[in-house]
Amino acid sequence: MDKRIDTSAESPAGADHEDPWMLVGTDGRIVFTEEGRRELAPYFARVGIDLTNIKTRKQYIKARRAASPFFLEHLRARFAGKPQTLEYNALRAIINGDNENFDRLFHRITVRNRLHTV
């Protein structure tokens, strides 16, 4: 079994680019990066999945599906300590399903960005 890591391999998500959360070995096995462990371990732990037990793309996809009902909760927790900027507040509005607030914030961001490019 080849243990080398091929960083040019397709990511487990299927995109043809390097994934900052994991590397895929030439044998198809997954190795999570430090960033991947920091981001994904708490997310999968919500459904009792230990990230260190995920070794293949199939296991990763299965874990994502199992944890998906908790995705918005995970995002809320992830952004809870972030500053109250227009961008983070827009993300919070999306996470909370507050379309009216998101539209208002998006408009403010767009206007501000136009002013910066003149």
Domains of the chain, residue spans: 5-69, 81-117
Is the model's pLDDT at 2 over the cut of 70? no
Distance CA 99, CA 101 (A): 6
Which has the higher per-residue pLDDT, 3 or 56?
56
Q: Checking phi first, is residue 85 left (phi over 0); if not, alpha (psi -120 to 50) or beta?
A: beta
Q: pLDDT averaged over the chain?
A: 85
Give the whole-number percent of the chain exceeding pLDDT 90. 67
Which has the higher per-residue pLDDT, 9 or 85?
85
pLDDT confidence band for 41 (50 / 70 / 90): very high
Radius of gyration of the chain (CA): 18
Copy the structure tokens of residue 41: 């371990």
Closest residue by Cα to residue 40 from 53, 28, 51, 52: 51
Model pTM above 0.85: no
Least confident of 2-6, 70-74, 87-91: 2-6
In terms of Cβ atoms closer than 10 Å to its own Cβ (0-12, 13-18, 19+), residue 30 is buried
pLDDT confidence band for 6 (50 / 70 / 90): very low
| pLDDT of res. 71 | 92
Which has the higher per-residue pLDDT, 48 or 78?
48
